[in-house]
Structures are given as C-alpha cells and as structure tokens.
Amino acid sequence: MCELLGMSANVPTDICFSFTGLVKRGGDTGPHRDGWGITFYEGKGCRSFKDPQPSCESEIAELVKAYPIKSKAVISHIRQANRGGVSLENTHPFTRELWGRNWTYAHNGQLSDYQGLPTGDLLPIGETDSEKAFCWILAQLKLHFQCKPSDLTCVFELLARCGDTLREKGVFNMLLSDGEYVMAYCSNNLHWLTRKAPFGKARLIDEDMVVDFQQETTPDDVVTVIATRPLTEGEPWVKLNPGDFVVFKHGDIVFERLLPPAVTQASGD
C-alpha cells in the first residue's frame, strides 16, 4: 500500500529531513514506485509538487529535498497503485476548494463498494478510490454545513464519522488539511511524533542521515510529524489505534476522537 507523511508546526518549518526518509521508501527501501506528491501551505495558498515516477528516481523530488520550503502544514504521499493507473491525475495529494480554503488530502489503503458514494458537484478527475472518497468527504461537509462553523468541533466530529464509514469499506488511513489544521484518521497503521524543547538528535531509518534539532530550532518551536511508519529510530513515536481521529494545529493536538479499547479490538483491520 501507499505511505503518508504530514507535518503541523507553530512556525514555518522545512520538512526536508522527514521527506528524505519518505523518498527512499518510494522504490528504494520500499515498494511504493507508482508516484509521489507533496503540498506545502503558505497562508491560504499552497504549492504542490507531484510526479508519477518513483520518488527515489525523481528529479523533482531531489529539488524538493534540496530546497527547504518552510510551511506550517504539509501533506505528502508515496503511491503503490491498486485502484487507477500510474498517472499524474491519480497521484496524491489531491486538492479542492471549500469555504474559501484549499483542502488537501492523501489516503493509504484500498476501498471496495465505493463507486456509489454521492459526491454532488465534486467530480473526481482521476480513477482512484482515494479521490472518490475525498470528493465524498467534502460533499458531506457541504451537505451538513452551509458555511464554515465558528466552532469546528462539529466539523471534526463529522469527519471522524466519515472516516468510520470509509473504514467499513476497507483500509482507510487519511491525512487531511485546510492549511490551518492537519487531520489524521487511522484505519490500521499511522504514527505521530511531536518535537519540542528540549530538542535532541534524530537518525533516519531509511537513510544514513542525522539531524541535531537543537541546532535547527528555537526553544519555542513545536513540530509534529505524522507518518504511516516511523521515519526515525530512538524517538517516541505514538501509534494510533484503528478508528482514532486526531487533529493538530500549530503542532499541538486540538481535537481527538480515540476509540475505547473494546471497540478498537472489535473493529481492527
């Protein structure tokens, strides 16, 4: 299956270190050779880089690794195709407008019986189950809310229920962001890690690379990284349980729906 990478930070931060580890899994240390993409937010705007080539061989990926784009919210994905051919239109992340903001989404997993999901006027461009599910999620938000609520708790609760519905159709690990919040839904495999003072060193699992974050940060920095599998060794990665839904803003958790252990065991994939 695919792998996900996301970041939420309280100051503009580059994701070169984590992205370097992810890129290696795109056809070198992992089988995800069917494309990759990454979206960086800058205020209400965003810039995306996508390539249907393996990330480990992509010159565009080398550019992103070498150019430290700083952002407070990032969504990235490497693909192992199962629904839809290997092409640019089927390459994650996908982006759509809602409530005057760019929403970016990436999915790891495979769904069945998804073709009938109603998407209203939001039509998929490619052929993937992932993009179809994204259009359905945004259609649900438009159906339940005429405009963006002042209190987003109800939005987060609806998104968690949408994740539950899609998890019933298969494996559904998701990262979703509007540039302010980074949202993570776990079906079977998703981890997160928050780095804050006192900072230490970290070593990538997939590449011989070490960073001393004390030299790269200030004492006030808070940076959370979300990944399908831990990207570093020796750091306290937190594994989400099936059905967990967590929302980060500026690196901190602002909403979480964690299922009780009994429900988690009964619903595990």
Give me the catalytic one of 2, 46, 162, 186.
Answer: 2
DSSP structural state of residue 118: -
Give residue-wise pLDDT tens across range 195-244: 999 999 999 999 999 999 998 889 999 999 999 999 999 899 999 999 99
Please say whether the beta carbons of 78 and 25 come within 8 A: yes
State the pairing for strand pair 3-14/222-227: antiparallel
Distances (CA, A) of 257 to 7, 77, 120, 124: 19, 24, 27, 28
pLDDT exceeds cutoff 90 at 263: no
What pTM, to 2 d.p., does this model score?
0.94
For the chain, give every domain's residue range: 3-267
Judge whether 46 counts as a catalytic residue: no
Mean pLDDT of 111-137: 96
Res 101: pLDDT? 96
Exposed e or buried b per residue across 199-234, where buried means at least 16 C-beta atoms within 10 angstroms of its C-beta: beebebebbeeebebeeebeeebbbbbbbbbbbbee
Tokens of 40: 């960086």
Amino acid identity, residue 53?
A: Q
Quick one: the chain helix, strand, coil %, rounded to 5?
Answer: 25, 35, 40
**Most confident region among 42-46, 224-228, 257-261 by mean pLDDT:** 224-228
pLDDT of 176-198, one tens digit each? 999 999 999 999 999 999 999 99
Domain 3-267: top CATH class: alpha beta
- Name the average pLDDT for the chain: 94
Q: Cα separation of 62 and 60, whole Å? A: 5
Q: How far apart, in whole angstroms, are the C-alpha atoms of residue 53 and residue 34?
A: 6
